[in-house]
């Protein structure tokens, strides 16, 4: 009998083609600086991603960031796609389809960064140990381990619901095919909740939770809820496990967590000030916010910066807008309160960030421009909030951007040409941010038309849609008329030229 290489992981359908900014070295460095922690210092770091999925993030970071990039995903379909993308873009990435145990014996250099997104919860306890062993063996002193995972107490009410899915799939499903089995398990669970169960009465929001699950991407549902292993843990237990590799908690990769005013009540803030132990402090935060998902940065040796060092490094950090000021909501929602962004601070700050066609600006220059309006701490908090909301991004320095422009262009060219036949990748490499920017399929085709110097981009896109037997959709309704379809594409193109292209140029996607 063949060995079960899947080890209980759901491999019948592929994972989504997602991009995760939190595992970008540039983003991680910013999160560490916010907490006054010295980031890895290498200008050409070694970076390894464990469980790469389709490998999109690894390719995007390998194209936009100097260094050597390694990754593995034991699903050969995922590894093959990631390899094909890297090969087409001429990126020298080392991508394998090895398990964590096999990868532990690979000939690899010491790592500055090891990243795992969406892996820890969905693999076995034995694989947890392999991950710890890998970090112990390969992570440099001062190196980073990024880890995201489902956590308690936030998952406590809904964890029994996931157990229902798994039990039905294991013992009662007669459906054929992965999606049919998933649908059957969800329908069974829905019936159980509706049958006046004490569980549904005790947890009033669980039915709404199930409704939201049903609305999500089906590939995501498969990998989120239908693996054999599903290990939700408390932060303190994760910290204990990683301590075996000499790792300690350094920072959250969720910048908004640094803004206590929107997340913690005054009483909670007072209690937090009374506690000094970092593990207890973080676990308390999860109780106060009822956290169900964490994005954590651990380090093998946390070196604290002095306040002047922290200040200078932050002041020298560049930032670039990801959206036009008028398109940025002036409301922020935290765990404790929902509030409006102060117009007297955010309006002039966003106007300054938009100057010179959205060119990146250092925090120092922003503080200078805002000197008569807000102090440096207020400007930093506003920048942190905008980064946390996803409207602003920390940047690399200009010399680094120059070094990665060619590799970024190559990867983007591959993605743009792929858009002729596929809509699965919705991102392009952004060398200025050392990461990616969301660019939908139609916008990618507009850029392809520009690259090919096509006189009528809208007609070019409509021809591709027709060849692929695709129709335009407006406000949820399919447009059946060809003339109206072309008109809608032209409207999209006009908006793209006016709104999207200046931002893409500022982020280095366009020259």
Q: Could you state, in chain order, the average pLDDT of each consecutive group of 10 residues for the chain (511 residues)? A: 45 70 98 98 96 96 98 95 98 97 97 96 95 98 97 94 90 80 92 94 92 85 78 97 98 95 96 96 97 97 98 98 97 92 97 98 98 97 97 98 98 98 96 98 97 97 93 84 92 97 98 89
d(CA 29, CA 395): 10
Phi-psi region of 174 (alpha: psi -120 to 50; beta: other; left: phi over 0): alpha
Which DSSP letter does residue 37 get?
B
Residue 191: count other Cβ atoms within 10 Å of its Cβ: 10
| CA trace torsion 283, 114, 52, 425 (10° rounding) | 90
CA 276/CA 271 separation, integer angstroms: 10
Domain assignments of the chain as residue spans, ordered by start: 25-152+231-300, 158-226
**What's the Rg (C-alpha) of the chain?**
24
| Token digits of residue 447 | 């850029």
pLDDT at 473: 83
Phi, psi of 337 (to 5 degrees): -145, 160
Q: How many CA atoms lie within 13 A of 511 on its CB side?
A: 9
CATH architecture of 25-152+231-300: 3-Layer(aba) Sandwich (3.40)
Identify the DSSP state of 16.
P
pLDDT at 508: 98
Virtual torsion, Cα 163, 164, 169, 171, nearest 10 deg: 100
Task: Look at the chain and count its residues.
Answer: 511
CA distances from 434 to 52, 60, 276, 280, 482 (A): 18, 8, 34, 33, 40
State the Cα angle at 46 between 249 and 115, rounded to 5°. Answer: 40
**C-alpha to C-alpha distances, 271 to 259, 265, 268, nearest whole angstrom:** 16, 10, 5
What global pTM score does this model have? Answer: 0.92
| pLDDT at residue 113 in the model | 98
Q: What is the pLDDT of residue 15?
A: 58
CA distance 481 to 30: 49
* Chain Cα centroid distance, residue 175: 33
């Amino acid at each position: 009998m063949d060995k079960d290489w899947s080890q209980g992981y759901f491999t019948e359908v592929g994972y989504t083609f997602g991009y995760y900014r939190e595992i970008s070295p540039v983003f991680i460095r910013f999160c560490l600086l916010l907490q006054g922690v010295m980031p890895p210092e290498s200008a050409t770091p070694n970076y390894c991603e464990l469980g790469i999925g389709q490998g999109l993030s690894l390719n995007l970071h390998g194209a936009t960031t100097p260094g050597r990039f390694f990754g593995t995903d034991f699903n050969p379909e995922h590894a093959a796609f990631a390899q094909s993308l890297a090969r087409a873009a001429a990126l020298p990435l080392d991508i394998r389809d090895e398990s964590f145990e096999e990868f532990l014996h690979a000939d690899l250099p010491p790592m500055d960064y090891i990243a795992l997104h969406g892996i820890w919860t969905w693999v076995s306890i034995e694989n947890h140990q392999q991950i710890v062993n890998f970090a112990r063996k390969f992570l440099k002193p001062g190196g980073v381990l990024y880890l995201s995972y489902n956590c308690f107490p936030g998952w406590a009410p809904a964890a029994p619901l996931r157990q229902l899915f798994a039990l039905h799939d294991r013992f009662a499903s007669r459906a054929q095919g992965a999606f049919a089995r998933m649908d059957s398990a969800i329908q069974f669970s829905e019936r159980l909740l509706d049958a006046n169960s004490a569980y549904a009465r005790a947890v009033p929001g669980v039915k709404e939770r199930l409704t939201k699950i049903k609305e999500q991407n089906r590939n995501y549902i498969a990998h989120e809820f239908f693996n054999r292993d599903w290990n939700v843990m408390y932060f303190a237990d994760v910290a204990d496990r990683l301590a075996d590799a000499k790792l300690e908690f350094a920072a959250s990769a969720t910048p908004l967590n640094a803004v206590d005013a929107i997340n913690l009540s005054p009483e909670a803030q007072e209690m937090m000030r009374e506690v000094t132990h970092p593990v207890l402090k973080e676990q308390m935060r999860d109780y106060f916010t009822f956290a169900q998902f964490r994005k954590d940065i651990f380090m093998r040796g946390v070196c604290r910066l002095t306040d002047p060092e922290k200040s200078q490094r932050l002041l020298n950090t560049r930032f670039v807008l990801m959206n036009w000021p008028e398109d940025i909501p002036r409301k922020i929602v935290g765990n404790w309160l929902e509030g409006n962004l102060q117009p007297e601070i955010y309006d002039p700050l966003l106007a300054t960030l938009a100057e010179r066609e959205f060119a990146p600006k250092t925090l120092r220059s922003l503080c200078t421009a805002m000197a008569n309006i807000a102090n440096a701490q207020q400007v930093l908090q506003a920048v942190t909030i905008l980064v946390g909301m996803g409207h602003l991004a920390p940047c690399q320095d200009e010399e680094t951007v120059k070094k990665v422009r060619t590799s970024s262009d190559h990867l983007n060219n591959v993605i743009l040409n792929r858009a002729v036949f596929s809509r699965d990748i919705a991102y392009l490499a952004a060398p200025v941010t050392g990461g990616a920017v969301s660019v939908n399929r139609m916008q990618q085709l507009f850029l392809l038309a520009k690259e090919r110097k096509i006189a009528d981009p809208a007609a070019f896109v409509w021809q591709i849609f027709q060849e692929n037997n695709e129709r335009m959709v407006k406000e949820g309704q399919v447009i059946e008329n060809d003339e109206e379809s072309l008109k809608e594409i032209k409207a999209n193109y006009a908006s793209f030229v006016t709104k999207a292209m200046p931002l893409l140029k500022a982020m280095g996607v366009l020259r």
